[in-house]
Structure 1
Amino acid sequence: MFKKCVFTLLTLFMLPAFAVEKKNVIFILSDDHRYDFMSFMPKAPKFLKTPSLDKMAAEGVHLKNAFVTTSLCSPSRASILTGRYAHHHGIVDNTSPIPEGTTFFPADLQTVGYQTAFVGKWHMGEVDDEPQAGFDRWVSFKGQGRYTDPLLNVDGKKIPHEGYTTDILTDYALDWLDKREQGKPFFLYLSHKAVHAEFEPAPRHKNQYEDAQPDYPKTMDNTEANYQGKPDWVRAQRDSWHGVDYAYHGDLKFEDFYKRYAETLLGVDDSVGRVIKYLEQHGLDEDTLVVYMGDNGFLLGEHGLIDKRNAYEESIRVPMLAWGPGMLKAGSKSEVLVRNIDIAPTILELAGGKTNISMDGESFLGLLKENEDSGKNRDFLYEYYWEHAFPHTPTTFALRGTQYKYIYYHGIWDKNELYDLKNDPEEKHNLIDIPAFQQIRNEMRNDLFDRLAADDAMNVPMRRGSWQAADRLLD
């Protein structure tokens, strides 16, 4: 009996700190939030104020090098929920249905005793807002939804609402926290529509930055010098739906577009603040990990472009913050590459859950707890597949490492790209044809295609165009 007690005590002491008691997790996802639009960031617009996100960074961990493996709503969201690349989970664009048999990691949390809730933008399968397996509570809407007076699917029942969607979703999230079963760990996934275009700030934030002066990026200039070495499609896109000179077919002025983006973000910051305040007021802050990130980045003039999809840094890089006063060291910063495919394994490790999903990502829980770098190579594959509805951006594959990025374009006769991100973070100088960089180019190109081949990922999807907007674009 004595030996059994000693063994039990030793076992408890040898367990990781998180394993003794299951911690709660709140994952907050925003849409199209670029990595540097938080007011604590050095390159943030001087007029922008995001006090709640600043609080998360000051009291938690800022993962400075967070990325998505596909910079598009549906594929990125599927990667977050499966821990898999798009070529594995199969949701390669915004209209692809969820493949039969797909499972999402919150179902694994349920098996280890977690209550789970999904509140917000689902956007997989475009028109589907029906409750998904793995969630005890379900609040969502079809497709992109709308910023005001949303029609929400609440546990399978369609309910119209009045008000601003970001606020309404936050209300539902906090209401669920109030009504959940006490004493059980919980996982809340709060997924915002904001700040997706076309931007619409909350009434309280409308025109708050009307007199602000946008910080135009240096690579926005329409000069030969700026586009030297760039693929032809990049300059051509400047005069398209996703370009600064003809944004949304000329319906938008870039300066107004920029300001409305910043104003719409304020509602998301308010939501984050409300969630953290709730945890603090209800004594849950010591036992809850809050993770905030964007589903993809967003260009605001870089290379003359807006939107995302391409493999440039502003498109693939996202904000990521972790807050948990009872678990994390305040004010920590990490330079290690972290990807959207790493979210699922990280949360599962924290929860003590196991999964049958064959995940491509790896947990970064040690990075959060002790700033421990596993030492593993986190270079990652980036993939974007051409869309009939938005034909301006070609199918793109890239390999993003800690210093260099190699970009390959499929199906067009154009120039590929190679950048030294350490010495050229704005990606001004394409090194693809520079003799001194031929070895690096060849090694990264070979590595890229080796990875694609190993994953059987070179079956580029092609579909019948069915969206009316695409037909108008191509007329």
Structure 2
Amino acid sequence: MSGQYSHTHTIVDNQAPNPGNLIFFLTYLQEANYQTALFGRWHMGSHTDEPRPGFDHWESFHGQGVYYNPQLNISGKRKQHKDSTYITDLLTEHAIDRLKHRDKDKPFFMYLSHKAVHSEFKPAKWHKGKYKGKKIDLPSTYDQTKTGEWRDLKWPKWVAEQRVSWHGVDYTYHTNIGIHGFIQAYCETLLGVDGSLGSVMKYLESAGIDDSTLLIYMSEYGFSWGEHGLIDKRRFYEESVKVPLLVRCPELFQKGTQPKAMVQNIDIAPTILAEAVKKPDYMPGVSFMPVLTVDYPAANRKEVFYEYHWEKDFPMTPTMFGMRTDQYKYIRYQGIWDRNEFYDLLNDPDEKHNLIGDPTKQGTNKNMPQSLYGWLAETD
């Protein structure tokens, strides 16, 4: 993740409004004769019925939407669905129908942005109970905020206090279903997304365009499943900040590669534009196509930066800034009197031992904050 985009466009959370002077990258695709469509969540400050910039056709809903019987806003006209209509299936059906009726002489871009698996999880009725009774092994950092070991590991106090909050394992979204019930609901809800992806792939294959279509499958965030006694996201720990990212296009690169180079979410738009039109010079991020073609030196990042701004809806998580290299991670908190964090990811991938005070790490501990604040200054 990165705040470099937010430094440019000023949208730092789900409520921040569009300042009115932004150019959405889809506009460049439209100018290049692409057909563009959005199905699903928009969630960038606007809850009006105004057309979404850059899309020829869009179907969205208010805020996070609902899992059953949604009201869709279809290019400015609202339509209420009934009879136990399930949102994941509905969006998939509409997206594929749009693909079927597109102008086949023009290139296309489609953004299928599911509500699932956003909390609070509700699986399709035919998936509910699929994983009943199944459990997973809990992470190695699950109990420390309960036993008090977190003090010896030098974790920040706010992390321990969050265990019994909305985003903690002992009070998962204010429910009493427990961590295993919580995971079960998630996995059963995710089955709908699996089915959606299968349906989209089946259509692309039937149309004979599956090898030439650049398909990017990703999430907007990672998720904690008990690590450090936490659930949800909004933190710079690995499980929260790492985002699932699968990319497929046999005409451009070989299948089966698993690159280790770091990429960021700000690289998605530049990657798409690099294969369609020229990326504007002002746009942050770079194409990660060289990473997919195993041309690592051309695209390797030496570090990534992260920032999260405190939200009134989730007051238990403070503002934080961070920097990560292939080996180290530095996290600095703002607005609270608490301990910062520093981890050696190669030797401690679970981020269990906070080395912020380790005398042997002070050189790196000094350089990373300097780089972090240098980046913040450079990007205003």
Q: 1:186 aligns with which of 73, 85, 108?
A: 108
> CA, structure 1 residues 312+96, in 2 after alignment: closer, same or farther (shift >3 Å)?
same
Q: Are 1:446 and 2:356 an aligned pair?
A: no
Q: Which has the higher contact order (CA 8 A, sep 6+)?
A: 1
Per-residue CA deviations over 1:217-270 (Å, capped at 9, x if unaligned) read: 111112222452100000000111111112223444222111101111111111
SS of the residue corresponding to residue 351 of structure 1 reads coil
Q: Counterparts in 2 of 1:431-470, with a 5 A limit?
A: 431-456=355-380
Distance 1:362 1:287 in 2: 22
Does the 8 A contact of 1:383 with 1:396 survive in 2? Answer: yes
Residue of structure 2 in register with 1:374 after alignment:
298
1:245 paired with 2:175, answer no
State the alpha-carbon separation in 2 of the partners of residues 375 and 403 from structure 1.
18
1:274 equivalent to 2:202? Answer no
| Amino acid corresponding to residue 175 of structure 1 in structure 2 | D
- Residue equivalent to 2:11: 91
Identify which range, 447-456 or 194-203, moves more after superposition: 447-456
1:289 and 1:130 map into 2 onto residues whose CA distance is 29
User: Structure 1 pair 390/252, CA: closer, same or farther in 2 (3 Å)?
Assistant: farther
Matched residue of 2:293: which SS? helix
Deviations 1:285-341 (A, max 9, x none): 122110101100111111001111011111110110011222221111100001100
Q: What are the residue-to-residue correspondences of 1:33-432 with 2, within 5 Å?
A: 68-69=1-2, 84-125=4-45, 127-128=47-48, 130-162=50-82, 163-221=85-143, 222-227=146-151, 228-355=153-280, 358-432=282-356
CA apart distance, 1:209: 0.5
Partners of 2:254 and 2:173 lie apart in 1 by: 44
Q: Secondary structure at the match of 2:59?
A: strand
Quote how far apart the aligned CAs of 1:129 are: 5.3
Q: 1:196 to 1:318 in 2, by over 3 A?
A: same
Q: Residue deviations 1:388-435, cap 9 Å, x none?
A: 111000001001111111000001110000011111111001010000
CA distance in 2, matches of 1:370, 1:377: 14
SS of the equivalent of 2:311 reads coil
Count residues in correspondence: 375
Q: Which amino acid aligns with 1:355?
A: P
| TM-score of the pair, normalised by structure 2 | 0.95
**Letter of the structure 2 residue corresponding to residue 196 of structure 1:** H
Helix, strand or coil at the partner of 2:214: strand
SS of match in other structure, 2:306 = strand
Structure 2 CA distance for aligned equivalents of residues 370 and 113 of structure 1: 30
TM-score between the two structures when normalised by the length of structure 1: 0.76
Q: Distance in 1 between matches of 2:182 and 2:284?
A: 36
Q: Is 2:290–2:299's contact at 8 Å kept on the other side of the alignment? A: no
Deviations 1:356-376 (A, max 9, x none): 6x2220111122234444154
Post-superposition offset of 1:353: 3.4
Bigger shift: residues 86-95 or 374-383: 374-383
Match of 1:56 in 2: none
SS at match of 1:315: helix
Tell me if structure 2 keeps the 8 A contact 1:214–1:259. Answer: no
Q: Deviations over 1:20-76 (max 9, x none)?
A: xxxxxxxxxxxxxxxxxxxxxxxxxxxxxxxxxxxxxxxxxxxxxxxx336xxxxxx
CA distance in 2, matches of 1:250, 1:179: 44
Deviation at 1:378, TM superposition (A): 4.5
How much does 1:113 deviate?
1.5
One-letter code aligned to 1:425 = P
Give the whole-Å Cα distance in 1 for the aligned partners of 2:274 and 2:54.
17
Give the distance between the partners of 1:296 and 1:244, measured in 2 at CA. 19
The runs of 5 or more residues in structure 2 that have no matched partner are: none
Cα distance between partner residues in 1 of 2:26 and 2:299: 28
Contact 2:308–2:321 (CA<8 Å) still a contact in 1? yes
SS at match of 2:218: strand
1:86: how far off?
A: 2.0
Q: Distance in 1 between matches of 2:184 and 2:215?
A: 28
| Distance of 1:129 and 1:309 partners within structure 2 | 29
Identify the range of structure 1 (92-101 vs 342-351) with the bigger mean alpha-carbon deviation: 92-101
How far apart are the structure 1 equivalents of 2:71 and 2:302? 40
Structure 1: gaps spanning 5 or more residues:
1-67, 71-83, 457-475
Matched AA of 1:429: H
